Amino acid sequence: MAMRDWRKTLLPASFRGVPFFVESEDLSGGRRLAEHEYAGGEVTLVEDLGKATKKHDVTAYLTSDTADIKALALQQACDLAGAGMLIMPMDGGRMAHAQGFRRTRERDRTGYIAFDVTFIPAGDMPVAALSIGDVSAAVATGVSSVAAAFASLF
């Protein structure tokens, strides 16, 4: 059985179209639980409040003679309001919010700039974005339905 060539399956990472390399990636999630402890009680009541918000902690880096310009672009992408397309090498693309970032530059590593960024998925659906064609088709269908319903009144 042949081994998988991981390098061929990895996607180039980017956020809002700004490319970067990935040093490491952590995903946290789980359940939101409320623990109820009572005086004199021997048992804790645990109330399940649903899914906890997933968070992707990414250590990204940029390296080249233009790393400073690329870092400014990534910083601006993280500062924008709303969700943007996040593409990770192994997970593919999804809409996500950049909750926060920390940029690091080191004296002995010129041309190398690192970012620690926390991303929160915008929803549970991967690539939760519609194209202009999808939106146009939905609007056209809706307008046709309304026009037909209105015409049937007369």
Q: How many whole angstroms separate alpha carbon 109 and alpha carbon 133?
A: 46
What domains can you pick out in the chain, each with its CATH number? 9-127 (2.40.30.200)
pLDDT the model gives residue 133: 47
pLDDT digits (tens, 9 = 90+) for 106-115: 999 999 999 9
pLDDT the model gives residue 130: 47
Does pLDDT of 104 surpass 80?
A: yes
Does pLDDT of 87 surpass 50?
A: yes
Indicate the burial class of 86 (C-beta count within 10 angstroms; 0-12, 13-18, 19 or more).
buried
Q: How many whole angstroms separate alpha carbon 103 and alpha carbon 20?
A: 13
pTM of full prediction above 0.75: no
Does pLDDT of 118 surpass 60?
A: yes
User: Is residue 59 within a helix (H) or strand (E), and if so which, with residue range?
Assistant: strand 55-63
Tell me which range, 94-103, 125-134, 135-144, is most confidently predicted by mean pLDDT: 94-103
Does pLDDT of 100 surpass 80?
A: yes
Does pLDDT of 149 surpass 60?
A: no
Query: CB–CB of 66/26 below 8 Å?
Result: no
Q: Nearest Cα to 100, choosing from 120, 84, 86?
A: 120
pLDDT the model gives residue 148: 60
pLDDT the model gives residue 152: 64
